[in-house]
Structure 1
Amino acid sequence: MVNKVETSTPANTPDPIGPYNHIAKVGPFISIGGIAGVNPATGQLAGADVYSQTKQIIKSFETMLYSVGSNLNQVIHVNIFLDCMKDFDEMNRAYVEMMGDHRPARTVIGVSELPKPGVLLTMNLTAVTTE
């Protein structure tokens, strides 16, 4: 049996900055590629601080997951690529507010540079559908 890979970038989410879709889904497994804290309505960063950008990323994740039959409670693993580790606590504050009591596996990696000017972090995730 060959599993079909379905890819998409739903409406009301930031446009990809390269030649890719944000979501890849195979059966019940969902992968969402690196997302920055861009407000999809304006195309601009949600704020100049890591707290605002983190909240926007997770709002975008919610929209993306919903589009493929999932939600934040179905997240298995999150990778966070943080430009400055001094922002760790503020990132965590926004993360906890948005994720509620769900605590999937998580990795935080310090990076020296991100592709879009002003971006303080990006995140990607793996989830499953609710089916």
Structure 2
Amino acid sequence: MLETIYTEHAPKPIGPYAQGIKVGEFVYPAGQLGVDPLSGKLVADTIKEQTEQAIKNLSAVLEEAGSSLEQVVKTTCYLSTMENFQGFNEVYEEQFNGHKPARTCFAVQELPLKALCEIEVVAVLKK
């Protein structure tokens, strides 16, 4: 059975999709940008600040679903340019606090709202 996840601690979707879906033992949050949940705008123009906010947004959706960053098994990371790879990695590593899920990371032509990064994850529920 599918359960739609919603929290006010993450940005409202900017399109026709859910913040997250829980099914079985898994949580599939929508990809998150570095958007402030209150203003709906990007938090800053730097990769580090946008990465930190994107991960905070993911964490909020995961927590609402009964999971956490420590339960993430796979991430897919989209960057507006690979020039931001190092700065992105610094914040990513810090925010995941030693947890190292499987990951794919690549540059794309453009992201919504002209964001510098978008992160999506797959996680298992806490036991």
Q: What's the TM-score once normalised by structure 1's chain length?
A: 0.93
Report the alpha carbon displacement of residue 42 of structure 1 after superposing the two structures with TM: 2.1
State the partner residue of 2:118: 122
2:41 to 39, 44, 49: 44
The runs of at least 4 aligned residues of structure 1 exceeding 4 Å deviation read: none
What is the root-mean-square deviation in Å for CA atoms of aligned residues?
Answer: 0.9
Deviations 1:94-126 (A, max 9, x none): 101111010000000210111213x01111000
State the alpha-carbon separation in 2 of the partners of residues 41 and 10 from structure 1.
12
- Corresponding residue SS for 1:34: coil
State the partner residue of 2:5: 8
Richer in helix (by share):
2
State the partner residue of 2:83: 86
Q: Does 1:105 align with 2:107?
A: no
Q: Percent identity?
A: 37
Letter matched to residue 120 of structure 1: L
State the partner residue of 1:29: 26
State the alpha-carbon separation in 2 of the partners of residues 112 and 106 from structure 1.
20
- Corresponding residue SS for 2:90: helix
State the alpha-carbon separation in 2 of the partners of residues 46 and 69 from structure 1.
26
**Structure 2: any 5+ residue segments left out of the alignment?**
none
Letter matched to residue 13 of structure 1: A
State the alpha-carbon separation in 1 of the partners of residues 72 and 123 from structure 2.
4
**Equivalent residues, number:** 127
Q: Contact 2:6/2:64 (CA < 8 Å) preserved in 1?
A: no
Q: Which has the larger radius of gyration?
A: 1
Q: Contact 2:34/2:43 (CA < 8 Å) preserved in 1?
A: yes
State the alpha-carbon separation in 2 of the partners of residues 54 and 17 from structure 1.
18
Point out the more displaced range, 52-61 or 8-17.
Answer: 8-17
Deviations 1:68-117 (A, max 9, x none): 11111000000001111000000001101111010000000210111213
